[in-house]
Structure 1
Amino acid sequence: MRRRLLALVCVTGSLLSACGMLPGAHERTTVTVWVMKDSASKDFLRRFTEDFERTHKDLRLDIRVQDWTGIVDKVRKALKGDSGDGPDVIEVGNTQVPLYADGGRLADLTLESMRDWDQDAWLPALAEPGRDGNAQYGIPWYAANRVVIYRKDLFEAAGLTRVPRTRAEWLADTRQLNSHGNQGIYLAGQDWYTLSGFIWDEGGDLAQRKDYKWKGTLDAPAALRGMDFYRRLQALGAGPAGADEEHPPQAGVFAGGKVAQIVAVPGLARSIVRQNPGLQGKLGFFPVPGKSAARPGTVFTGGSDLVVPGNTKDQFAATAVVGALTGAQWDTELARTMNYVPNKTALARAVAGEEGIAAMAAGAAHGRATPSTPQWADVEADNPVKEYMTRVLDGADPAAEARRASARITEQLTPDV
């Protein structure tokens, strides 16, 4: 592939230094890469840069770390620029890709995805938001999702010798944990990401597109079944019906010592132990149970994709960076370093030795993402799903509240003309 790229480069006049035929051929072309704060360690970025520049003698990397705060406006501004001095590769949240692809401002990387990057093996929750029709704009990099963090000692005290693998077992075990004087599970009433997984497991969705129009679908029978399971599970704890998992922060609640389970990313365990060192060695992890033992429950899977701006000064060079970062060698190295899920199920063995990450990878294998539309950001900004959940948990009619929330979602997903 590299030989073909250089041949094209010499014909088009790009990357002249790589052709070795013109004055200044000894100079490298700089590829500017934006990565988000805490996505990769300094040591990882250093090692990747050294390896990439050693194997790509014509290229130099300029990696710039960005803050999540204000990043949407910053990326939008960069995508609109025409000076050629903006970033050539950008890390973006997987669900943000439709927002940036709107208006044709990202490079279409479909050819490389099909020919060189084995796109059929990517995690669906990373790949699907990066795709618009037949065009692939976002290339999956890494993933993370929720699992169940549990107290091994409280399970043992309740006579539970194994973790639940089905929803029915999960409910029964949680009731048994409650009977031993503990809160069987702490599940906040507005944890809509966890609810989404239950809805998807039932075959429903938050919204669906038909005839190029999006419509809220919380009132569909499958989605109502997902909400009913959430209601039954949430009732087995004392989570507030009118707040989400950050109000109060559930790590602090769990650290209090009387909660047996929470649904969270595995990394939250570090915060729990910092707040209560007595829990060191007592925490375990298992995938969110599914409807049957044949597979874990569906979970919302977040993470990052890499995109190439349409205004990059050199798409060939940018694509080479994307291919290296998301390839098996460096993708698995990133997963080991940062405790992520790699971008392909086949690479999950790289994190099999870490209990929390292995549980996360099991769920990510068939994880999902929010509806792939730029307008979904409007839904999250004024989230009717949260209000719907609180009303149902407070005793309102689920079907009526679901119709109300679905209508609001439909309105939010309808672009202003």
Structure 2
Amino acid sequence: MKRRVIAAGIAMTLGLTATACGSDDSGDKAKDNSTDSAVDGTGKTLTVWIMEGTNPDAKPFFKEAAAAFKKQTGASIKVEYQQWASAQKKFTTAIEGGKDQVPDVAEVGTTWVPQFAETGALVDVTGKVKESGLSEDLVEGLQDAGTLDGKQYGMPWYAGVRSIVYRKDVFAKHDLEPPTTWKELQAVAKTLKEKEPKMVAFPVAGGAEMFAAPFVWGAGGELAVEEGGQWKSAINSADAVKGLEFYTGLATKDKVSPAKVNTWTEKEVGDAWNKGQIAMAVGGNWTPKAIMEGNPDLKGKLGAVPIPGPDGGLSKSFLGGSYLSTFQTDQKDLAWEFVKMLTTGEFAAKWAEQTNYFPGQNSELQKVAAQKDPLVEPFAKQMLEAGATVPKTKSYGEIQASKVIPRMVQSILTGKASVQEAADKAAREMDDIFAKDK
């Protein structure tokens, strides 16, 4: 049996009805528990690892959270900020060093949870979640991302999804409409290349794995499938290759993306946005806010639409985010209280507002969606109708760390391999890594 891990349940989550949280009082319980703790942490200090860059106001946020936690439990918080690029290796090294090396609480990317959980480093909090009345108020797809064999390893903190961000003013200048099919995307990008030669019409960023993935999914392909309990690459299937041909063809054939973009990461695309060099690009729901902070002149000039499907509808896009997980230290109960405080109620809402990500609670997510923000609604629609995630196995973390997909895309963009050749090579590399996970 083949299994594709999809962000199921998001449609119910964003239904914008009161019944989405269930008919019991679980939502109210979730809101109250941030101020109710039976754990005495007087004289104790929790070490907390947080990824740097998600929240530009992270230090004031954690100063406020630490003060609230001190009042609630008597414990202090020591926050250590980590870089996304090096965090996975740092976690792995710390886990190998034992409980004295790992943090008490850490922000863990959803794609890392399986890897860390299978080492025994993360605490199973399934019972804690249920006892706190939180089970019915968690975004189902996010809750599932951190659950293995029925055990939940932390709390969903925030989530994001990628759609298309574009310059409304540039589109209006040339009487262009946001694309609703792949053919329209291609035509609009070619027009932008012709009319705005100093801008990058649509960056085909070779270093951004999640820019390519929607076109694989949109064509009906998969990154990998599970057969009989074993994962196997599907990146070289006919459908996946069709999606890759369209995406890379925008650069190799239509020339809407210059050669300098071949190795760009998502961060480098963001830097180009801030310099006013991008006309249209794949971007996350956090992207518009970051762009306007980096270039205030673009305030009011940005628009967003879901990533279109080949002939209409939507292409699936990666739904991911972060968990707050507790590690196997001597302060597990105290650590859980901090996780619960940050991922529910007041602090969950503040984090979502400051980062422009979606919160992990149904009740808080409904509030965000109900605001009808034109730079939020398209991403909510993408999340509603077309959210996907990567294979839920520790092996995929190694595949990402090895940059298998970016290297595949870059080899196509530079002409070193055809799409099929590059996909076949990537598939072999993925299968070699999956084979270790038997």
TM-score, with normalisation over the residues of structure 2? 0.74
Tell me which amino acid in the other structure corresponds to 1:245. Answer: W
Deviates more, 1:240-249 or 1:106-115: 240-249
Q: Is 1:132 matched with 2:148? A: yes
1:406 positional shift: 0.8
Query: Aligned residue for 2:119?
Result: 103
Tell me the SS of whatever aligns to 1:230. Answer: helix
C-alpha distance after superposition, 1:175-205 (max 9, x if no partner): 4444535454232345431111222234432
1:142 positional shift: 1.1
1:78 positional shift: 4.5
Query: Aligned residue for 1:376?
Result: 396
- Unmatched 5+ stretches in structure 1: 19-26
Distance (Å, rounded) in 2 between the aligned partners of 1:184 and 1:209: 37
Tell me which amino acid in the other structure corresponds to 2:227. Answer: K
Contact 1:117 1:323 in 2 (8 A): no
Distance 1:373-1:169 versus aligned 2 partners, 3 A rule: same
Distance (Å, rounded) in 2 between the aligned partners of 1:319 and 1:204: 39
Distance 1:318-1:29 versus aligned 2 partners, 3 A rule: same
> How is 1:327-346 mapped onto 2 (pairs within 5 angstroms)?
327-344=344-361
- Select the residue among 79, 87, 91 that pairs with 1:64: 79
Q: Is 1:321 matched with 2:333? A: no
Distance 1:382-1:339 versus aligned 2 partners, 3 A rule: same
TM-score, with normalisation over the residues of structure 1? 0.78
1:172 positional shift: 3.9
- Select the residue among 318, 332, 337 that pairs with 1:300: 318
C-alpha distance after superposition, 1:230-276 (max 9, x if no partner): 13544361333982323993345556666421223365557766887
1:139 positional shift: 2.1
Tell me which amino acid in the other structure corresponds to 1:309. Answer: F
Cα RMSD, aligned residues only: 3.8
Which protein shows a greater Rg? 1
1:141 positional shift: 0.6
1:410 positional shift: 0.5
Query: Aligned residue for 1:283?
Result: 302
Distance (Å, rounded) in 2 between the aligned partners of 1:63 and 1:196: 37
1:76 positional shift: 3.9
C-alpha distance after superposition, 1:51-84 (max 9, x if no partner): 3444x3x442413222226534543455456667
Query: Aligned residue for 1:23?
Result: none
C-alpha distance after superposition, 1:68-126 (max 9, x if no partner): 265345434554566679633221222221221122221112233456323674262x4
Contact 2:94 2:101 in 1 (8 A): no
Deviates more, 1:398-407 or 1:97-106: 398-407
Q: Is 1:180 matched with 2:201? A: no
Distance (Å, rounded) in 1 between the aligned partners of 2:235 and 2:155: 30
Identity within the alignment, %:
25
Query: Aligned residue for 2:16?
Result: none
1:392 positional shift: 4.3
Tell me which amino acid in the other structure corresponds to 2:109. Answer: G
Distance 1:402-1:111 versus aligned 2 partners, 3 A rule: same
Query: Aligned residue for 1:157?
Result: 173
Query: Aligned residue for 1:35?
Result: 50
Q: Is 1:215 matched with 2:236? A: no
Distance 1:167-1:282 versus aligned 2 partners, 3 A rule: same
C-alpha distance after superposition, 1:385-417 (max 9, x if no partner): 234334545495534442232112111232289
- Unmatched 5+ stretches in structure 2: 1-28
Query: Aligned residue for 1:22?
Result: none
Query: Aligned residue for 2:433?
Result: 412
1:336 positional shift: 0.7
Deviates more, 1:239-248 or 1:360-369: 239-248
Contact 2:145 2:392 in 1 (8 A): yes
1:375 positional shift: 2.6
Contact 1:85 1:313 in 2 (8 A): no
Tell me which amino acid in the other structure corresponds to 1:410. Answer: D
Contact 1:205 1:217 in 2 (8 A): yes
C-alpha distance after superposition, 1:128-185 (max 9, x if no partner): 442222222142111234332212122112213x433444443343344445354542
1:206 positional shift: 1.2
Tell me which amino acid in the other structure corresponds to 2:433. Answer: Q
Tell me which amino acid in the other structure corresponds to 1:343. Answer: G
Tell me the SS of whatever aligns to 2:336. Answer: helix
Deviates more, 1:186-195 or 1:81-90: 81-90
Tell me which amino acid in the other structure corresponds to 2:169. Answer: D
Distance (Å, rounded) in 2 between the aligned partners of 1:36 and 1:259: 27
Distance (Å, rounded) in 1 between the aligned partners of 2:102 and 2:404: 37
Q: How many residue pairs end up in the alignment?
A: 393
Contact 1:127 1:139 in 2 (8 A): yes
Query: Aligned residue for 2:364?
Result: 347
Query: Aligned residue for 2:243?
Result: 226
